[in-house]
Structure 1
Amino acid sequence: MPPCDFIPERYQSLGYNRVLEIHKDHLSPVVTAYFQKPLLLHQGHMEWLFDAEGNRYLDFFSGIVTVSVGHCHPKVNAVAQKQLGRLWHTSTVFFHPPMHEYAEKLAALLPEPLKVIFLVNSGSEANELAMLMARAHSNNIDIISFRGAYHGGSPYTLGLTNVGTYKMELPGGTGCQPTMCPDVFRGPWGGSHCRDSPVQTIRKCSCAPDCCQAKDQYIEQFKDTLSTSVAKSIAGFFAEPIQGVNGVVQYPKGFLKEAFELVRARGGVCIADEVQTGFGRLGSHFWGFQTHDVLPDIVTMAKGIGNGFPMAAVVTTPEIAKSLAKRLQYFNTFGGNPMACAIGSAVLEMSRRPLPREEVNQIHEDCKHMGLLVGRGGIFSQTFRIAPSMCITKPEVDFATEVFRSALTQHMERRAK
């Protein structure tokens, strides 16, 4: 396991058996904990978690794809502590700078005309509000989502969620219709050229770079849903840019673009659920919908938005926002509170803002002092360019990785002072 310079505090709270008793007597009986012996976590630091016994774990799940910039990130911590001493909470009936500053920063990261922001508390709540928006704007009821989709566990969003383990034998989420998931890996159509992914199905296909036969087959299934399972006019269509809970499912190239056109022709709006794919999680783009070359009418987001702090948002167009305002005096007690917005702003800065040149220079110098030479690039000279000769060996790569880790650790320690 890679080394970690962080030393956690000594655990001095409830014993493990006592925790099990309390959980059994007072907490939800629904089995959600991972592992036969659930972990009792105590402390987190960046990509690391520590349990009550002092064991260290490399966290590759990030609190269900939520901790976007690291556990207890020093910069985010500092912002949270500062805001905690200034103002914890006031509802949106009053103005406060953190909310307006955050709204401006978030809006700048989305393309026109997605500029009106509704701040809420969770992904389920965001998707419920998006459902209301779609119906209020279109004056229609039916909403389509993929089989295998997960859009929340609240009674309303369970209609959109199409994963069997989350379904109930009780009514809820009426007016929602599932359609076939265009899964080129496990579905009936698709091959090794049908999606942009390093992991491909072993099935061969004869698709050309600009023509995906599997996409055409799945679009026919989507058209069949529109023809048979919903009214002539619909309210909308929900899609995760990549399905998360269903097992990281990617769609064939061009599918969402054509599906969006079909939905809009029926009077519906297109909703991108970015709860798991937003805020740079996909690497190539800040938002998952950008990888499909589409522009949604509504975008929902949560999880990584607050690095684990309860926060979510719905972003839409002025036109759709006005349609909702005509139907509903929408209010949210905790959405957009000062703590959430201050933390959200700090997370956005860690995702997008280049380090000051003098700080990048120091990291560069630290690497050189430890025997590692790397390049620089980017319009702010903020990117380290790593391109070793092809004769490099694994031990040498391990050395370079450790030097770079050490240089970044020193940088974070300097910033925390």
Structure 2
Amino acid sequence: MKRALRTTTRAFSGRNRRSSSQLAHSDAPFPQNPVVVPKMPPFDYSPPPYSGPSAAQILHKRREFLSPSMFHLYKNPLNIVEGKMQYLFDESGRRYLDGFGGIATVNCGHCHPDVVAAIVDQAKRLQHSTILYLNHAIADFAEALASKLPGDLKVVVFFTNSGTEANELAMMIARLYTGCHDVISIRNAYHGNAAGTMGATAQSNWKFNVIQSGVHHTMNPDQYRGVFGSDGEKYAKDVQDLIDFGTCGRVGGFMAEAVQGVGGIMELAPGYLPAAYKAVRKAGGLCIADEVQSGFARTGSHFWGFEAHGVIPDIVTMAKGIGNGIPLGAVVTTPEIAQVLTHRSYFNTFGGNPLCTTAGHAALKVLEKEKLQENAFVVGSYLKERLTSLKEKYEIIGDVRGRGLMLGVELVTDRHLKTPAKTEILHVMEQMKDVGVLIGKGGFYGNVFRITPPLCFTKEDADFLADAMHYSLSKM
């Protein structure tokens, strides 16, 4: 499973300013047991002593009073009691590097002082009223958000509480505007777990046996496992075929993530979205970009994931990074398309809540002020190089993919057959946690590391994460 370890100039030397977080190395061949436990980068903060209930007490209460559907990572779940920028602290005060970012949500960093200050100031004045009264917070944030959409696209915003809710609303808008019920989504996609979005979600792991009507799932333009490799236009032909043979010839909409998050950080093949959008619009449908995970500068090269594909959607949905951890989502579309919601009464009690929109506006300002999109590109590219170098050493790594600070590492027990390493990934995750690094997992088979840290990640953090994975894989 593991190739013989060796020192290579590209992987372990010749880098700019290697910090104390790095593994010891030299130009000589590795000795019998060369991989030492990496050291976490220094951080100028120590949390105050924790005096609350223990992990065992919380777990007991959780099992007694919370839904049995709730699950947790790790054999011994962590009791996380504090967060500061890219780090989390458990009940004992131990620090962990957060490589998961609350599932691609904490873009600015945990408890960023600017965001916290804005929330506290707003909470002291007004926590909630209703959009039936006027308040500047929702209007100011909508204006700022609209300015981040590309080109000359004139847009309006409708705020929601989550990504699921945003995608539900987007699908309804598309159906109302076009007068057509049929919606197309991509296999392996995840769009939410409510009535409509569960239909658009295309993984059996996340679907219950309930009525899910009007959604058709087209071939996934999977560059790793797909039959056409990275030829996006060939995959897109299936969209046209689906329209021709699976519908009346007209569709209401097409929904896609530019990078499938829950699906295992799967970036759609180049050329796919332009061809798919063309086919859908020819059939009268609207194109919906699900930016719940890939939006808000996470991919580094662009502010929105769809921009890397050279397309302009009709509707954009967003959540997660929009509020840096505050429950908030949004649907952005044109005034013309949004007009369909005026034909009846459509209302959301908490959508546009002044506290949430103030937090979202503050987070957006931090992204711009601290140039976190640029940082996501630079640090993300660097981390991807480090992870790719590990692929050269360990046969268990089948693929390294993604862009910016939205990266995936797929583990397989056989590179040729691409057999998912379902058990092995759990072992590596446990080892990395013990070293001090937290990352997620996903993909249909649950064998893909999901690396989506706060965008304030540094190169030293990237090195520590890669070294922790190197160390953990060496223990296999």
Pairwise TM-score range, normalised by the shorter structure: 0.7 to 0.9
Equivalent runs, 1:135-284 vs 2, <5 Å: 135-171=175-211, 173-190=212-229, 194=230, 214-284=231-301
1:152 offset after TM fit, Å? 0.4
In the alignment, what sits opposite 1:331?
A: 347
Distance in 2, matches of 1:79 and 1:152, equals: 29
The match for 1:42 among 72, 75, 81 is: 81
Shift of 1:289: 1.1
Instruction: Give the secondary structure class of the aligned counterpart of 2:195.
Output: coil
Structure 2 counterpart of 1:132, one-letter code: M
Counterparts of 1:262 and 1:7, CA distance in 2:
55
Q: Is the 8 A contact 1:278 1:287 kept in 2?
A: yes
Q: Report how far residue 254 of structure 1 moved.
A: 1.4
Matched, 1:20 2:59: yes
1:101 to 127, 135, 140: 140
Kindly state the Cα deviation for residue 354 of structure 1 after the two structures are TM-superposed: 6.0
What residue in structure 2 maps to residue 291 of structure 1? 308
Deviations 1:214-251 (A, max 9, x none): 22321222222112222211100000011111111122
Contact preservation (8 Å) 2:233, 2:271: no
Task: Give 1:29's aligned residue.
Answer: 68
Counterparts of 2:243 and 2:71, CA distance in 1: 36
Q: Aligned residue for 2:362? A: 346
Secondary structure, aligned partner of 1:85: helix
Deviation at 1:114, TM superposition (A): 4.2
Q: Is the 8 A contact 1:76 1:347 kept in 2?
A: yes
1:130 and 2:147 equivalent? no
Query: How far does residue 401 in structure 1 lie from its aligned partner after superposition?
Result: 6.8
Contact persistence 1:79–1:346 (CA under 8 A): yes
Task: Give the structure, 1 or 2, with the largest relative contact order (CA under 8 Å, sep 6 or more).
Answer: 2
Q: Is the 8 A contact 2:190 2:260 kept in 1?
A: yes
Match of 2:105 among 41, 44, 66: 66
Cα deviation, 1:131-177, whole Å, max 9, x if unaligned, reads 11001100000000000000001122100001111011222x31111
| Contact 2:160–2:351 (Cα < 8 Å) also in 1 | yes
Structure 1 window deviating more from structure 2 (263-272 vs 250-259): it is 250-259
Residue 387 of structure 1 is matched in structure 2 by none
Residues 294, 304 of structure 2: 8 Å contact kept: yes
**TM-score of the pair, normalised by structure 1:** 0.78
Partners of 1:231 and 1:126 in 2: how far apart?
27
What TM-score does the superposition give when structure 2 sets the normalisation length?
0.69
Kept in 1: contact 2:46–2:93 (CA 8 A): no
Q: 1:313 pairs with 330, 340, 348, which one?
A: 330
1:54 paired residue number: 93
CA 1:354/1:34 → structure 2, altered by over 3 Å: closer, same or farther?
A: closer
Tell me how large the CA RMSD over aligned residues is: 1.7
Do the aligned partners of 2:160 and 2:348 also contact (CA within 8 Å) in 1? Answer: yes
1:103 and 1:117 in contact (8 A); partners too: yes
Match of 2:157 among 101, 117, 125: 117
The CA distance in 2 between the partners of 1:296 and 1:135, in whole Å, is 15
Tell me, in whole angstroms, the C-alpha distance in 2 between the residues paired with 1:78 and 1:10. 23
Residue 446 (structure 2) aligns with: none
Cα shift at 1:330: 1.1
Q: Is the 8 A contact 1:142 1:230 kept in 2?
A: yes
Percent identity of paired positions between Structure 1 and Structure 2? 45
- In 2, distance between residues paired with 1:32 and 1:299? 30
Match of 1:186, as an amino acid?
A: R
- What CA deviation, in whole Å up to 9, does each residue of 1:81-136 have, x standing for no partner? 11111110011101101111111111111133341100110000000000110011
| Counterpart Cα distance in 2 of 1:17 and 1:262 | 54
1:91 partner SS: coil
Q: Is the 8 A contact 1:303 1:312 kept in 2?
A: yes
Question: What's the counterpart of residue 415 of structure 1?
Answer: none
Q: How many residue pairs end up in the alignment?
A: 336
**Stretches of 4+ moved more than 6 A in 1?**
none
One-letter code of the match for 1:225? L
Q: Name the CA distance, whole Å, in 2 between partners of 1:100 and 1:220.
A: 41
CA distance in 2, matches of 1:138, 1:185: 35
Which whole-Å CA distance do the structure 2 matches of 1:114 and 1:144 have between them?
Answer: 25
Over 3 Å counting, the alpha-carbon distance change for 1:146 and 1:10 in structure 2 is same
- Give the distance between the partners of 1:354 and 1:6, measured in 2 at CA: 20
- Matched-pair contact (CA < 8 Å) for 1:137–1:324: no
Question: For 1:283 and 1:336, how far apart are their aligned partners in 2?
Answer: 27
* Contact preservation (8 Å) 2:138, 2:353: yes
Richer in strand (by share): 2
Q: Which amino acid aligns with 1:47?
A: Q
- Match runs of 1:348-363 below 5 Å: 348-353=364-369
Alpha-carbon distance in structure 2 between the residues aligned to 1:215 and 1:287? 19
- CA separation of 1:317/1:401 partners in 2, compared to 1, >3 Å: closer, same or farther? closer
Q: What is residue 394 of structure 1 aligned with on the other side?
A: none
Cα distance in 1 for partners of 2:309, 2:255 equals 14
Contact between 1:253 and 1:292, CA under 8 Å: does it hold in 2?
yes
Residue type of the alignment partner of 1:295: I
2:174–2:285 contact (8 Å) kept in structure 1 = yes
